[in-house]
Amino acid sequence: MLDINKLLECAGNNIAETLKMVDPAQIEAIAEAIANAHKSGHNIFTAGWGRAGNVVRILGMDMSQIGMIVYCVGDNSTRSIQAGDILLINSGSGNTKTITIIAQQAKAMGATVALISGNAPDNSNIGEIADINVTVPRLQKNNFRPPKPASREKTHGQRVDWGLTPEQREQMAYDGVTGYYESSFALNEVIKQVVMQKIGAKAEDIGFYHNNLE
């Protein structure tokens, strides 16, 4: 039976271990680009699908609560992107097809593209497009998963038994209790704090700009 206290401990440890592997220079670069866009009167855009999309929306919300104008790609109220604006993308793989197209479109319009991803830029289609890359490395604690098949044949929707013991499955739960998305969510707060310092925002500003239609 899973030990909930151990799960809680592993969750915190895994996030901390992941964030220690993020390059501070990359955080500095994305924060500087966001701050510069704001200071020059330009807008912030966010894009991503699924969990990654939810995480980057939170980063956009963080930026709006320190006084920035933020749009989420795909919302009906999102205006056109222009030169000088910045598009913030979160993509675990860095290869999401539709987001790759959006990144290309943003670059063609003269906007800055910043990617937060679990893959290094040279392993990422969006990373090769982006002006700024922040890599959130994935922890490699779990050794029980079999290697990916050599063929690219899809196995989605097909049940596969890995032949793991109950003990191995329990260890998987502890090792995998958090992953890329949880760690990049925590990274949002780090980015926000660095941006706030760069634009001179204060904690009191968050209360002023916080949503009041509740």
pTM over the 0.75 mark: yes
pLDDT at 139: 84
Residue whose token pair is 């596969």: 160
Q: How many Cβ atoms from other residues are within 10 Å of residue 190's Cβ?
A: 14
**Residue 145 domain flag:** no
For residue 190, the enclosing domain spans: 4-139+167-204
**Residue 9 domain flag:** yes
CATH of the domain at 123: 3.40.50.10490
Quick check: 145 pLDDT over 80? no
- Diameter over CA atoms, the chain: 58
Closest by alpha carbon to 183, among 33, 14, 43, 65? 14
pLDDT at 149: 57
pLDDT at 15: 94
**Residue 148 domain flag:** no
Show the tokens assigned to 63: 């930026």
Quick check: 148 pLDDT over 90? no
Helices 180-199, 4-20: axis angle to 10 degrees equals 50
**Residue 134 domain flag:** yes
Order of strands across the sheet that contains 44-47: 70-72, 44-47, 86-91, 112-117, 132-135
* pLDDT band, very low/low/confident/very high, at 147 (cuts 50, 70, 90): low
Q: How many CA atoms lie within 13 A of 55 on its CB side?
A: 25
**Residue 157 domain flag:** no
| Buried/exposed code over 44-76 (b: 16+ C-beta within 10 A; e: otherwise) | bbbbbbebbbebbbbbbbbbbbbebebbbbeee
Question: What's the rounded Cα separation, in Å, for the pair 88 and 86?
Answer: 6
Give Cα separations from 126 to 30, 103, 114 (angstroms).
15, 7, 9
Quick check: 141 pLDDT over 80? no
Closest by alpha carbon to 94, among 72, 113, 112, 121? 121
**Residue 78 domain flag:** yes
In this predicted model, what pLDDT tens digit does every residue of 102-113 receive, in sequence order?
A: 999 999 999 999
Q: Is 124 exposed, middle or buried (0-12, 13-18, 19+ CB in 10 A)?
A: buried
pLDDT at 143: 60
Question: What's the rounded Cα separation, in Å, for the pair 109 and 177?
Answer: 40
Q: What is the DSSP letter of 181?
A: H
**Residue 181 domain flag:** yes
Quick check: 177 pLDDT over 70? yes
- Mean pLDDT across the stretch 43-56? 98
Quick check: 156 pLDDT over 80? no
**Residue 35 domain flag:** yes
Number of domains observed in the structure of the chain = 1
